[in-house]
Amino acid sequence: MDTKQIEELVDEIIQGADDRYAIIMKSYQTPIFHYCYHILGNRCEAEDATQEVFFKAYRNLKKYSPIMPFAAWLYKIAYHHCIDLIRKRKWTKLLPFLMQDKESQSDIERHIENVYFSEDVFLAMQTLSVEERTLLLLRGVEEKTYEEISLIMNKNAASLRKKFERTASKFRSAYSPLGKGGSAHDESKQIAREY
């Protein structure tokens, strides 16, 4: 969805066409969920966080300014919401998705778990700080520019570029030993190589 389409949708929603907000949600729900999942490490919390992000965005839609790309604005809301959740629960490194009942998952859910949420990728991500995970996901997965990321994280774009290189190296180091054990999936190895 381009900038003009987003601005038109936002104007329509502000004018009272609340049903148009579903278009925005449909466009951004999956990437915001993936982001929340990798920051929070828990599927249920990520689902709740995603809903809360869209609720907060809707409530504050009048405050949105086209100076910032809409996606960056949503990610900024998601970033701050996830940070708040982590602070509230006094972050512990758990592996909640490994304890899920695999029989209760659909084929699609199992495929997503095996590819995008593999144990090895998850474990490697847990070696990173929340800020590092955010940077890695926004740049490496969501392909945001450093300028967009600087808007989301309130950091200098040049320093983010340097930090990304260090973070990607840290992720690869944490991921490599896991992959040698033979438990990494081919698709998740591809994710690590892309960083």
Write out pLDDT tens, residues 78-105: 999 998 888 776 434 433 443 444 444 4
Q: What is the CATH number of domain 1-95?
A: 1.10.1740.10
Write out pLDDT tens, residues 132-187: 988 888 888 778 899 999 988 989 999 999 999 999 889 888 877 554 444 444 44
Q: What is the spatial distance between Cα 145 and Cα 123, in angstroms, rounded to a whole number?
A: 26
Q: How far is CA 57 from the centre of its chain?
A: 16
Domain boundaries, the chain: 1-95, 114-176
Same CATH fold assignment for domains 1-95 and 114-176: no
- The Cβ of residue 153 has, within 10 Å, a number of other Cβ atoms equal to 20
To the question of pTM greater than 0.75 for the whole model, the response is: no
Q: What is the spatial distance between Cα 131 and Cα 152, in angstroms, rounded to a whole number?
A: 11
Q: What is the CATH number of domain 114-176?
A: 1.10.10.10
Q: What is the spatial distance between Cα 51 and Cα 15, in angstroms, rounded to a whole number?
A: 22
